[in-house]
Amino acid sequence: MENLQSIKQRFGIIGDNSGLNRALEKALRVSVTDISVLVTGESGVGKESIPKIIHQNSPRKHFKYIAVNCGAIPDGTIDSELFGHEKGAFTGATSSRSGYFEVTDGGTIFLDEVGELPLPTQVRLLRVLENGEFIKVGSSKVQKTNVRIVTATNLKMEEAIAKEKFREDLYYRLSTVEINLPPLRDRKEDIPLLFRKFAADFAQKYKMPTLRLDDDAQKLLQNYYWSGNIRQLRNIAEQLSVLEKDRTLSSSTLNNYLPKSINNLPALIEKKKSNSDFSSEREILYKVLFDMKADLTDLKTLTLDLMRNGNSSETQEKNHNLIQKIYHDNEDKSDIKTIDDDSLNIEKSADIVKNPSNVLKYDYAETVVEEEPLSLLEREIEMIKKALIRSKGKRKKAAKELGISERTLYRKIKQYDLNELQE
């Protein structure tokens, strides 16, 4: 097994940061085993070097090594890419194809950006990790493969698991050993070395004198945030090599090429609403609507009382108190419309209290005393039914009216057995 210095020279790794050295040492120790390794770190820190080191120092080094960027493959074709497919498995599958797991049998496969894998593919990958089995798309035949899987991601996997975007069981299988590469801002002592290496490479490439940094420029380079890490430093070095005539760089010159970074300043982050927040808001809105419906029920009772008993002083006093109560309770609800189109509104009822003879102005043929407000579940079912009826069974139109996604509406239709109301 190679030592740390020879590994750096062989794979072009520059720096002597303790975090970097620790990551390289872990890679060397696990390389002789078949343990699954998850490489973590921000974008641009050089995660792709670790799988190569592991493969080249393992017993599998004479077999194939394949690197796959999971985030660059469309969801619809990634299963075919990884596991292969049979002829006729889908439109355009004119012949059978071997996937990466079949081609790499005996070697190492590196899955970069593994956090971008769709959930169905994660299930297939878990099966490969557990017993080395996979099935081609469009086939029923179980095939075996013997591959070493190394993965990498720049996502916070705990958050992805909490949001149900990544399987927890798969995460623990992939991260038997986790190797974290530090960001460039935590490797300040390595930044001048890296810049000199890039400057020398670009000077040779573009046949120009090599760039030099004065002391102030070097300090500026070391104290910059480098949100893009090594990739960003390399791009800055290339720009300077091509555009600057003066090959000794001052801090003022360098500062013109550095994007204004605000990542190291405190930031105000808007708190995202959780599902419980939306649920709580919905319950409050329903409560307001139910309270208004109860008030309307009282108004209908009031109106019927006027129609039956006339406009006696006792009835007037009782109804006046009721109107005042309703107006007081609803003074903050003026922007909310009632949910029953045929209900009497407050203004009509107030007009009848003042002038009972005006009852003939309004249509009371359908006026009845309402029942107690429905439960939240019943109310939700009723609203979905009405939306589907009004949209003539078109889910997209009904979902837009209800203010929810079509996928959510489809799930609720199945949950409440409302299939007969949709197209």
Please compute the mean of the pLDDT values over residues 53-72 and round it to a whole number.
96
Work out whether the CA dihedral 241, 247, 251, 253 comes out positive or negative: negative
Per-residue model confidence (pLDDT) at position 410: 81
pLDDT digit string, tens, across residues 102-126: 999 999 999 999 999 999 999 999 9
Show Cβ contacts of residue 222 under 8 Å, excluding neighbours closer than 6 positions. Answer: 188, 191, 192
Top mean pLDDT of 63-67, 338-342, 390-394 is at 63-67
φ and ψ of 144, to 5 deg: -110, 145
Show Cβ contacts of residue 62 under 8 Å, excluding neighbours closer than 6 positions. Answer: none
* Least confident segment among 25-34, 84-93, 351-360, 373-382: 351-360
The answer, yes or no, to whether residue 26 has pLDDT greater than 50, is yes
What share of the chain has pLDDT > 70, as a percent?
A: 73
Which residue from 167, 89, 125, 73 is spatially nearest to 134, judged by alpha carbons?
125
Tokens 């019943």 belong to 378
Q: What is the DSSP secondary structure assignment for residue 135, as one 8-state letter?
A: E
pLDDT digit string, tens, across residues 300-333: 776 666 666 655 556 556 666 665 555 555 544 4
Cα→Cα distances 330→182, 287, 323, 348, 349, Å? 58, 13, 11, 15, 15
Per-residue model confidence (pLDDT) at position 347: 55
Q: Provide the pLDDT confidence category of residue 340 given band limits of 50, 70 and 90.
A: very low
User: Would you state the structure tokens that stand for residue 386, as one six-digit string?
Assistant: 């009405």
Domain boundaries, the chain: 4-182, 187-255, 275-361, 376-421
Separation between Cα atoms, residue 331 and residue 288, nearest integer Å: 12
The answer, yes or no, to whether residue 364 has pLDDT greater than 50, is no
Contact 303, 344 (CB under 8 A): yes
Architecture of domain 4-182: 3-Layer(aba) Sandwich (3.40)
pLDDT digit string, tens, across residues 176-218: 999 999 999 999 999 999 999 999 999 999 999 999 999 999 9
Per-residue model confidence (pLDDT) at position 388: 84
Higher pLDDT, 266 or 136: 136
Pick the CATH number of 187-255 from 1.10.8.60, 1.10.3210.10, 3.40.50.1820, 3.30.420.40: 1.10.8.60
User: Would you state the structure tokens that stand for residue 258, as one six-digit string?
Assistant: 């550095």
What share of the chain has pLDDT > 90, as a percent?
A: 58
